[in-house]
Amino acid sequence: MSEFLSYPFFQRALVAGLLAAVLCGTLSFFVILRRLAFVGSGIAHAAFGGVALAVLFGLPPAAGGLAAAILVAVATSHAAASGHVSEDAAVGVFTVAAMAAGVVALGFVRTNVDLFGLMFGNILTVAPSDLLLLAVAGLLVLATLAYFFRPLLYASVDEEGAEASGVDIGRMRLLLFCLLGVAVVASIKVVGILLVSALLVLPGAAARPLAARWPALLALSVGAAVVTVEGGLLASVVADVPPGGAIILGGGVLFVAALAVSRLRQPG
């Protein structure tokens, strides 16, 4: 293990894991409060269509993924605001459409595409440019969350009360969905499209049974994300298994452990 720590590629992987963990762990706090697990998953899957179309037209995959994620986030937010469909139904429709477009686009691609890396990620191949993208995205998302934290929190715990107090619920929903899209695209290199949605859900879900108030929930969510990503990365090296799967599996174990601890703490 000490030998791996001396390799530059592994050092970059640890830094990337930390950045992605703080980013996704913070957003997971809002995902759990607002019950947006399926929305986060849908936005992540929609990014696949954007990446595939970008590859087809020779554009940067990250740009295509971000465009698709933001497009689905905006469309879902507006559809939900109309009151005719739920958030889950809207994101389900737009997600399958985006993924279908991606599948069709890949049929026309004549170059080799690392679909396994795209779907499941490979944190050990993170380049300095990927670190820069992740750092910029993280700073953008965290700064935005800090600025809008109070209205976002109010809208997450009491939507009707927040609206009565003058909070623009639709704008807060759109903002959160777009931030989820940015986090998804920035984290694809770490855990891949199919698993990034789990990283947006598992930390907050593991923290929820152990936290009675929101400050503790936020801190535990970020902490759980860091333990999940860094622990999964180290475990993948020791066990010689894919890092993306090890990271999410570790998050699942942490969630089960949190449930067990919460049950033991209950009186009687």
Confidence of residue 179 (pLDDT cuts 50, 70, 90): very high
User: What angle, rounded to 10 degrees, do the helices at 243-265 and 169-191 form?
Assistant: 120
Nearest residue to 19 via CA among 198, 177, 199? 199
Nearest residue to 195 via CA among 20, 59, 9, 72? 20
Q: pLDDT tens-digit profile of 16-74?
A: 999 999 999 999 999 999 888 888 888 888 888 888 888 888 888 888 888 998 898 88
Q: What is the mean pLDDT of the chain?
A: 87
Largest Cα–Cα distance in the chain? 64
Q: What is the DSSP string of 43-75?
A: HHHHHHHHHHHHHHTT--HHHHHHHHHHHHHHH
Q: Mean pLDDT: which of 36-40, 160-164, 177-181, 244-248 is highest? A: 177-181
Mean pLDDT of the region 250-258 = 93
pLDDT of res. 1: 62
Q: What is the DSSP string of 103-160?
A: HHHHHH--S---HHHHHH--GGG--HHHHHHHHHHHHHHHHHHHHTHHHHHHHHH-HH
pLDDT of res. 113: 67
Interatomic CA distance for residues 133 and 150, integer angstroms: 27
Three-state DSSP state, 168? coil
Domains of the chain in sequence order: 8-265 (1.10.3470.10)
| CA separation, residue 246 to residues 48, 80, 130, 250, 258 (Å) | 22, 35, 21, 6, 18
